[in-house]
Chain A
Amino acid sequence: MVNTKPSDEEILKGLGVLDDEEQSDSGPDVAFSVDRGPSDEPLPEEVSDEDLVFDASELSVFYGDFRAVRDVNLRVRRNEITALIGPSGCGKSTVLRSFNRMNDLIPSARVAGSLLYRGVDLYDPRVDPVEVRRRVGMVFQKPNPFPKSVYDNVAYGPRVAGRKKGLDDVVENSLKKAALWDEVKDRLQDSAIGLSGGQQQRLSIARAIAVDPEVLLMDEPCSALDPIATARIEELMAEIKSEYTIMIVTHNMQQAARVSDRTAFFSVELDESNDRRTGVLVEYTTTEKLFSNPDDERTENYITGRFG
């Protein structure tokens, strides 16, 4: 199961978007502001089109009339781990969920601005969200194994995608990649509910990578785990990074510092007029720079523990 990178054309076709002449720069009619704020100041390295997986510009997410997050400018690079950190309520999970259209499940949620996946606007009405989620998998905060056997959990994604043959290999490879194979190989037919919390979360990861996605979104994957299980997940992330692009939301700054290549710091702004809080992307740069020499005072206050 080598993660062969699909060509741009295949991606566009897969998303149901490619109409021949329409190509990667067919974003929506959003006025791209030249000044992207402090978050996008000279990136440490230029990024080629091939390595650019997500490109969010002036992305806002709304719940009804309420703007939960605003003005997110975020470029996610291939085979990197991008961490989203910030205080509670800053909208980092909301942003993460907009990257594979999980927010679609909330009827009142909508986005503004542009979010390109390999040059394709993810919120183009022609995009099939189911196909997006096969390419951009998700691991959730609480381990959520299905009430089925270990085997059926991992085989679930390939099965709903219509795959019937070779499932044994997919299950074995996915469990091996998720560093769970040795622990469950003798009880593949046992219920996944009987696994420990840490095993369940690695099973969730195996389930996500069984459909061979390009990107893995992880929404606080370790918040329900003990430190040993957390360390295993972090090791695992480092191991599979060469094959996947990973975005992780975490409350744990040390975790972000340990595992990620780049970090986006989100903060909360209080609108005095209506007493509502909106999340905002404050700073996005390499993890090393963000934690050692942040540009923004709010970032510095947060990472030094003076706020949040």
Chain B
Amino acid sequence: MAMATIGNSGAAERRVEDEIFRRGRDLRGSGFRTMLFAALAISILFLVVLLIQVFVDGWPVLDERFGDFWSGTLRSRSSDDKLGISQGMIGSFWIAVFVAVIAFPLGIAAAIYLEEYAPDNIVTKTIDIAIRNLAGVPSVVYGLLGLFLFVQTRELKDSTLYAGGITLAILVLPIVVITAAEAIRAVPSSLRQGAYGVGATKWDVIRTQILPFAAPGVLTGTLLALSRAVGEAAPLILVGAITGRLAPRDGSFLSLEQFSDRFTAMPIVIVGWVQESGRDAGFSAAAGAAIVVLLAFVISMNSVAVVLRNYFEKKRG
């Protein structure tokens, strides 16, 4: 049809105009776009409201007595002035260390094996699916596992930082494996082939091509895992983190003796204080302030990971 109209002026031109000019608005397209924007806006709105609420609640404490809010204790009978978070922060700090030391190397190594060495068969596929399902298992179940493995079967029969840290490391292990495996899978095959083509061994290829290229993705995964571990409360309650009185410790933040002591962590502290908040306004403000501090802790860990990720991304060109 188009062929036939070429060369004819007048009527033909008008026909082309009729055909290619815009006819009305694309209502369905704009509707779709508006819907997507609304979804984004609602998500951000929840987050902003939550943050404002917490800041408003916690601000008096952070503003007026930050120094002794750090050094105070978990419970206070006489006056709320003595509530403090240092013991919770020590626990959360060490939990992060446990996760970094146990879950990262194990998870990344497992991912490398799954992606690079495991034969492509039914066993590997089953393991792969199992790991994905493990990532979705409720954290309470991991708490039960930790209770059974590390608390009840120990001769000490006590709830220690060891038990909590290892339990949370196991909890986030599947997340580390999955994200690291995805990052490794995303390495372009042209890089592998190029390296093999000049006589690299498999170990050379993994060391010099795959790991550097996958590093940013792996870091993103480990970061998610760390944030998750530091924010979990349920498994720690089961493992037996302290919600009540914890004897003040004279040891410092880095003292290794506290590993075999009873412990608490920030989410537990927050849960405890929120439960008391109906009784005493001081608990509510302290809980808000504790949440702000925990958020700051998580964000600072994240920013380290972001800096590292940018560094690796830049390095790979």
Contacts and interface: CB of A to CB of B under 8 A. Distances in A.
Interface string B207-218: 011001100000
Interface stretch (A48-56, A81-89, A99-107, A281-289): A99-107
Interface string A180-204: 0000000000011110000000001
B316 A204 contact: no
Interface residues of B, number: 23
Given A147-B317, A160-B208, A134 B194 contact: no
A133 B197 contact: yes
B190 A107 contact: no
B199 A102 contact: no
Contacts of A160: 195, 198-201, 204, 208
Interface string B169-193: 0000000000000000000101111
B195 A146 contact: yes
Interface string A126-159: 0000110110011110101111100000001100
Contacts, number: 75
B206 to A, nearest CB: 12
A137 B188 CA distance: 20
A2 to B, nearest CB: 20
Given A105-B192, A140-B190, A130 B199 contact: yes
A208 B315 CA distance: 23
A62 B200 CA distance: 25
B218 to A, nearest CB: 16
A238 to B, nearest CB: 22
B199 A131 contact: yes
Nearest to B193: A140
A120 interface: no
A211 interface: yes
B12 to A, nearest CB: 38
A162 B208 CA distance: 13
Given A130-B200, A193-B317, A144 B194 contact: yes
A60 B191 CA distance: 27
Which one of B194, B199, B200, B212 has the highest number of Cβ atoms from chain A below 10 Å of its Cβ? B199
Interface string B278-317: 0000000000000000000000000000000000000111
Interface in B190-240: 190-201, 204, 208-209, 212-213
A161 B199 CA distance: 7
21 contacts: A100-B197, A102-B193, A105-B196, A107-B119, A133-B196, A138-B198, A140-B190, A144-B190, A147-B212, A147-B213, A148-B317, A156-B195, A156-B198, A156-B208, A157-B199, A157-B200, A160-B198, A160-B201, A160-B208, A193-B317, A208-B198
A70 interface: no
B17 interface: no
A134 B199 CA distance: 5
A264 interface: no
B199 to A, nearest CB: 3
Nearest to A104: B196
A192 B194 CA distance: 14
A262 interface: no
Given A102-B193, A105-B192, A140-B193, A147 B316 contact: yes
